[in-house]
Structure 1
Protein backbone atom coordinates (compact mmCIF):
# COMPACT_ATOMS: atom_id res chain seq x y z
CA UNK A 1 0.00 0.00 0.00
CA UNK A 2 1.54 3.31 -1.04
CA UNK A 3 2.21 6.01 1.51
CA UNK A 4 0.14 9.14 1.64
CA UNK A 5 1.88 12.45 0.97
CA UNK A 6 1.77 13.19 4.71
CA UNK A 7 3.31 9.83 5.61
CA UNK A 8 6.05 10.36 3.02
CA UNK A 9 6.76 13.79 4.49
CA UNK A 10 7.03 12.30 7.99
CA UNK A 11 9.63 9.78 6.84
CA UNK A 12 11.55 12.46 4.95
CA UNK A 13 11.50 14.70 8.03
CA UNK A 14 12.83 11.89 10.21
CA UNK A 15 15.59 11.14 7.73
CA UNK A 16 16.55 14.83 7.57
CA UNK A 17 16.45 15.02 11.41
CA UNK A 18 13.72 17.66 11.32
CA UNK A 19 11.39 17.64 14.33
CA UNK A 20 8.19 15.62 14.03
CA UNK A 21 5.21 15.49 16.36
CA UNK A 22 4.80 12.67 18.86
CA UNK A 23 1.84 11.36 16.85
CA UNK A 24 3.88 11.32 13.65
CA UNK A 25 6.81 9.62 15.36
CA UNK A 26 4.48 7.04 16.92
CA UNK A 27 2.93 6.27 13.52
CA UNK A 28 6.36 5.71 11.94
CA UNK A 29 7.50 3.46 14.80
CA UNK A 30 4.26 1.46 14.90
CA UNK A 31 4.40 1.01 11.11
CA UNK A 32 7.95 -0.32 11.41
CA UNK A 33 9.48 2.53 9.40
CA UNK A 34 11.36 4.10 12.32
CA UNK A 35 12.90 3.19 15.65
CA UNK A 36 12.95 5.42 18.69
CA UNK A 37 15.66 5.30 21.32
CA UNK A 38 15.04 5.77 25.04
CA UNK A 39 16.49 9.28 24.85
CA UNK A 40 13.87 10.24 22.26
CA UNK A 41 16.09 10.08 19.20
CA UNK A 42 14.33 8.64 16.17
CA UNK A 43 15.81 7.14 13.03
CA UNK A 44 14.45 5.30 10.03
CA UNK A 45 14.64 1.54 9.89
CA UNK A 46 16.01 -0.10 6.75
CA UNK A 47 12.44 -0.43 5.47
CA UNK A 48 11.80 3.26 6.12
CA UNK A 49 15.02 4.25 4.34
CA UNK A 50 14.04 2.20 1.31
CA UNK A 51 10.70 3.99 1.10
CA UNK A 52 12.34 7.40 1.20
CA UNK A 53 15.17 6.48 -1.18
CA UNK A 54 13.00 4.86 -3.86
CA UNK A 55 10.76 7.90 -4.11
CA UNK A 56 13.78 10.03 -5.02
CA UNK A 57 14.78 7.94 -8.03
Structure 2
Protein backbone atom coordinates (compact mmCIF):
# COMPACT_ATOMS: atom_id res chain seq x y z
CA UNK A 1 0.00 0.00 0.00
CA UNK A 2 1.30 3.41 -0.93
CA UNK A 3 0.95 6.13 1.68
CA UNK A 4 0.28 9.79 1.02
CA UNK A 5 2.84 12.42 2.00
CA UNK A 6 0.59 13.39 4.92
CA UNK A 7 0.38 9.79 6.15
CA UNK A 8 4.17 9.42 5.92
CA UNK A 9 4.52 12.68 7.89
CA UNK A 10 2.25 11.32 10.63
CA UNK A 11 4.33 8.15 10.91
CA UNK A 12 7.57 10.16 10.90
CA UNK A 13 6.21 12.41 13.67
CA UNK A 14 5.23 9.41 15.78
CA UNK A 15 8.64 7.85 15.18
CA UNK A 16 10.38 11.08 16.25
CA UNK A 17 8.05 11.39 19.30
CA UNK A 18 6.63 14.68 18.03
CA UNK A 19 3.03 15.36 19.11
CA UNK A 20 0.30 14.31 16.70
CA UNK A 21 -3.42 15.04 16.80
CA UNK A 22 -5.87 12.50 18.17
CA UNK A 23 -7.24 12.00 14.66
CA UNK A 24 -3.76 11.31 13.28
CA UNK A 25 -2.95 8.91 16.10
CA UNK A 26 -6.28 7.13 15.66
CA UNK A 27 -5.64 6.72 11.92
CA UNK A 28 -2.18 5.23 12.53
CA UNK A 29 -3.50 2.80 15.15
CA UNK A 30 -6.54 1.78 13.07
CA UNK A 31 -4.30 1.21 10.03
CA UNK A 32 -1.99 -1.01 12.10
CA UNK A 33 1.00 1.31 11.77
CA UNK A 34 1.09 2.31 15.44
CA UNK A 35 0.10 1.02 18.86
CA UNK A 36 -1.13 3.15 21.72
CA UNK A 37 -0.51 2.27 25.35
CA UNK A 38 -3.02 2.81 28.14
CA UNK A 39 -1.06 5.85 29.32
CA UNK A 40 -1.45 7.48 25.91
CA UNK A 41 2.06 6.80 24.62
CA UNK A 42 2.13 5.88 20.95
CA UNK A 43 4.81 4.02 19.03
CA UNK A 44 5.11 2.58 15.56
CA UNK A 45 4.57 -1.09 14.87
CA UNK A 46 7.05 -2.98 12.72
CA UNK A 47 4.84 -2.23 9.70
CA UNK A 48 4.82 1.47 10.57
CA UNK A 49 8.59 1.49 10.95
CA UNK A 50 8.95 -0.16 7.56
CA UNK A 51 7.06 2.72 5.93
CA UNK A 52 9.12 5.35 7.74
CA UNK A 53 12.39 3.64 6.83
CA UNK A 54 11.46 3.21 3.17
CA UNK A 55 10.17 6.79 2.82
CA UNK A 56 13.44 8.13 4.23
CA UNK A 57 15.36 6.22 1.57
CA UNK A 58 13.27 7.81 -1.17
CA UNK A 59 13.50 11.33 0.25
Range class of TM-score, shorter chain: over 0.9
* Residue segments in structure 1 that go unaligned for 5+ positions in a row: none
* Residue segments in structure 2 that go unaligned for 5+ positions in a row: none
Q: TM-score by structure 2 length?
A: 0.93
Q: Size of the alignment, in residue pairs?
A: 57
Q: TM-score by structure 1 length?
A: 0.97
* Structure 1 equivalent of residue 27 of structure 2: 27
CA RMSD, 1 decimal: 0.6
Question: Which runs of at least 4 in structure 1 moved beyond 3 Å after TM superposition?
Answer: none
* Structure 2 equivalent of residue 5 of structure 1: 5
